[in-house]
Chains A and B, each alone.
Chain A
C-alpha cells in the first residue's frame, strides 16, 4: 500500500508541476498578480509530494519490502540500516527520485527565500523550475518507476554493491546532487532573465548565493568521492579521470567559472550574455553528468542500446532542455545591453582569463569523456582516454590560471596596476623561484614538473597571504593588524581561503605524486618492512565477521625511528550478497603524510601479500578541498550576499556550518 501512495504522489506531483510550469507564464501575460503568486504554492506542493514519494520508497527499503522490484534488486535484509537508506539512491531509479526531491526542495527554497524578488521574476523562475521537474517526473514515471511491484516477492534481495556500503559513499551522492541540482537555480534564473530580456547587477546578486551554495556542495561531494576512492579502492589513488568522475568535475569547472563571471556582472555590469550562457552550460553539464552516469551508456554503448526507451527519453530530454535554452539564448541574448569597458590590466580581465581557461578545460574534459562513447557508437572500437591526456591538459590550462590567480585579487576594477601588484607579490615570486630551483637542483632529471607544481602551489598560498596582509596593512601598523584583518568583509576571507585551498591541493598533488614510497611484499606475522622511513611491523592477522561479510584483518605497528606512530588495521572483506570482495585500507594521517597499508591474499606458509605506502602531504588534498568549501560558506554568510537567498534569521546557523564541514 505504501509504495502505491508513493507512486500516486509522483503522479500528482507531475500534474502540479505541469500546472506550475504553465500557469505563471499565463499569469504574467495577463498581468494577474494573484495568479503569479500561486507559483510559490505550486513549489511547496511539489516539494511535499516529492517528499511523500521519496519517503515511501525509503520506507520500502527500511522494512525490506521485496515485493517492490527496486528494493529486491538493490537491498538485502542483512545490510546495516545506514546502507538500507543509502541504498535508496544507490541505483538508477532511486537516484532519480533523489534528483526530483532535491529539485523540488530548491524550488521551495526559492519560493520561501525569494520573497524580496520581484513577483513577476520569481514566478518566471519557479515556472522554469517546474518545467524541469516535469521532465524528471515524466522520466521517472515512464521509464524508471521505482515503485514497480514484483510478484511473487522473493525471499531475499540481491544486495547493494559492497563498494557502495561505506559511510563516505553513503553521503557522496546527496552532496553531489545538491550541487548538481543547485545549478538548476542559476539555470532557471538565467532562462527567466532571457524571457524578461533584462540582466541587471541585481540579477547577479540574486544568483550568486545559489551558485555559491551549489558550488560548495559540489566541491564537498567531489572531495568526498575522491576520499572514498583513496581509502576504499586500496590502490592509494584518489582520482582516475574516470568518466564518472569527469561527469562531476565538468559542472564544477563551469560552476567555478560562473561564480567568478557573475561577480563581474554584479560589480561592473559587464559580461552579461556570457554569464547567462555559463549558467545554462553549467546546468547542462549537471544533466549530462547525471545521465551519462545513470543511463548505462558508460559501461558500454551496447548497454545503453539494450534499453532504448530510456536512452531515447534521455536524449530527447537533454535536447529539449539544452537545445531549448540555447536557442532562447541565441534569440534573446543580443537584446541584453552591451557591457562596460575595462582595461587589459584589471580585475575584469583577470576574471575573463579565469573564465576562458576554466571553460576551455571543461570543454577538453568533455571531449575526453565523450570521445570513447562516440567512437564506439560509430565503429565499435572500444578505447579509453587515459589520465595522461587529462593531466597534460590540466597542467597546460591550469598553470596560467594559477599564475593569474595571484594577481587577480590585487588588481582594481576597471583599471588595475600590474606593477604595483607585482611589488606586493614580490616575496611570493622570490620564494616560488627559490623553491623551484632547490627542487630541481636537489633531484636530477625528471623533476621539472615537480618543482614547477610546488612553486605554483607556494606562489598561490603566499600571494593569498600577501593580499590579506596588504588589505589589513600589517607592515605599517602591526598593532591593530588582527583587528583590521577581522574587519575585512567575509567575502574577502572566503575568497582567500578558497584560493589558498587550491594552492594546498596543488602542493599535495605534486608532492604526493613525486615522493610516494610504495612496497609490495609477502609478510609473516612479526616481519618488518621500511617504507619511506616508516617501519611497518605485521603484528597479527585475524579473521573477523561483519553483519554481511567476513574479513581478514591485519594489524600493523608503524614506527618512525623507533617512535610509535600508529596502529593500522586494514581489512580484506568478502561480502556474500552480492559475492564480491573489497579492501579497507588502514590509513593514519600524520603531519608529513599518510601511512597506508592494504592486506591481500594468503600466499601460503603463513605469509600474506601486503601493499604498504607512505604518501607525503596527501591529506592536503582534502584539507584544501575542505578550505575551499569552508571559504564558500564563509562568503555565503557575508551579509551582502544575502539578497535573494533565504533571509537573515539563519545567520548564526550558517556561521556555525563551516566548522562542521571541516571536521
Chain B
C-alpha cells in the first residue's frame, strides 16, 4: 500500500473510486437478484393457471380451502387440500403442522412450488381465520356460485 497520497484531490479520487466500485457492485447484485429466484409472486389459483407456473418455480398461493377437499395421509403429518378462488382449483400438499385455525372454507396463504404432477408442494401454510386479520386484498372476493366462507356452514377438518 502506498503511503501518503499527497493531495486532497487524489484522496477524494480514491474514496469516490472505491465508493463507485462498491455501488456498481451493489447495483449489479440488485439487478441480478431481482431477476432471479429471490422474488416470489403472490398469485391466486386462476392467476397461477393463467401464468402457467412451471414445476419448481416458487410463488405464494392464496385462496380458500375448498370444501370437502381436505385429507390426511397415513403418516398423520402430510395433508392434501385444494385451494380455490372459485374459478380455478389447485391441489396442494403440505408436510408439517397445520395452523389450528386451518379450516375448509377459510382463507390460506401458502408458499411453495408445483411438483412434476402439478401438485403445489407447500412449505408454509398460514391460515386466516378472521377477515379482520387478513391482509386486505389477499383474500378472494365473493363471486357468484362460490359463496364467501362466512355465508355457509363450514365443516372443519
Contact = CB atoms under 8 A, between A and B. Distances in A.
Are A and B genuine complex partners?
Answer: yes
Interface of A: 161, 299-300, 302-303, 306, 338-339, 341-345, 352-353, 356-357, 360-361, 363-364, 367-368, 371, 381-389, 392-393, 396-397, 415, 418, 520-522, 572, 574, 578-581, 598, 600-601, 603-604, 607, 609, 611
Contacts of B53: none
A344 B5 contact: yes
Please list the 6 inter-chain residue pairs (A to B) with the smallest Cβ-Cβ separation, ordered nearest first: A600-B97, A389-B38, A382-B42, A299-B135, A581-B100, A388-B38
B30 interface: yes
B38 A302 contact: no
Given A383-B41, A396-B29, A598-B97, A161 B133 contact: yes
Nearest to A352: B15
A216 B147 CA distance: 52
A384 B39 contact: yes
A364 B41 contact: no
Contacts of B76: 522, 603-604, 607, 609
B156 to A, nearest CB: 11
A580 B19 contact: no
Contacts of A364: 26, 29-30
Given A300-B136, A306-B136, A353-B18, A384 B97 contact: no
A580 B136 contact: no
Q: Which of B3, B5, B38, B41 has the most CB of A within 10 A?
A: B38
A561 to B, nearest CB: 28
A633 B38 CA distance: 38
B95 interface: yes
Contact of A389 (B2, B34, B132): B34
A402 B138 CA distance: 41
Contacts of A339: 8
Contacts of B77: 520-522, 603, 609
B97 A415 contact: no
B148 interface: no
A179 B90 CA distance: 46
A392 B1 contact: no
22 contacts: A300-B136, A300-B137, A302-B136, A341-B4, A343-B3, A343-B4, A345-B1, A345-B3, A356-B19, A357-B22, A368-B30, A383-B39, A386-B39, A386-B40, A392-B33, A393-B26, A521-B77, A572-B100, A580-B129, A580-B130, A607-B76, A609-B97
Contacts of A161: 133
Nearest to A302: B137
B56 interface: no
A97 B18 CA distance: 43
A371 B34 contact: yes
B75 A522 contact: yes
Nearest to A296: B136
A353 B19 CA distance: 8
A578 B2 CA distance: 66
Contacts of B39: 383-386, 389
Contacts of A607: 76
Given A383-B39, A385-B39, A393-B29, A574 B5 contact: no
Contacts of B33: 368, 388-389, 392-393
A604 B22 CA distance: 57
A386 B23 CA distance: 21
Nearest to B15: A352
Contacts of B29: 364, 392-393, 396
A401 to B, nearest CB: 10
Contact of B23 (A299, A360, A384, A601): A360
Interface string B98-139: 111100000000000000000000000000011011011110
Given A388-B38, A389-B34, A611-B96, 20 more contacts: A299-B136, A303-B136, A338-B8, A343-B1, A343-B4, A344-B1, A364-B26, A386-B37, A388-B36, A389-B33, A389-B39, A397-B22, A520-B95, A578-B132, A580-B133, A600-B97, A601-B98, A607-B76, A609-B97, A611-B97
B146 interface: no
Contacts of A580: 101, 129-130, 133
A386 B111 CA distance: 11
Interface in B7-25: 7-8, 11, 14-15, 18-19, 22-23, 25
B141 to A, nearest CB: 12
A340 to B, nearest CB: 9
Nearest to B26: A360
Nearest to B44: A382
Contacts of A609: 76-77, 97
B39 to A, nearest CB: 5
Contacts of B30: 364, 367-368, 393
A387 B22 contact: no
Contacts of B100: 572, 574, 581, 601
B135 A303 contact: yes
B41 A381 contact: yes
Contacts of B58: 386
A214 B140 CA distance: 43
B54 to A, nearest CB: 17
B38 A387 contact: yes
A520 B5 CA distance: 61
A601 B79 CA distance: 13
A392 B41 CA distance: 20
Contact of B38 (A360, A386, A604): A386
A260 to B, nearest CB: 15
Contact of B25 (A300, A396, A578): A396
B38 A385 contact: yes
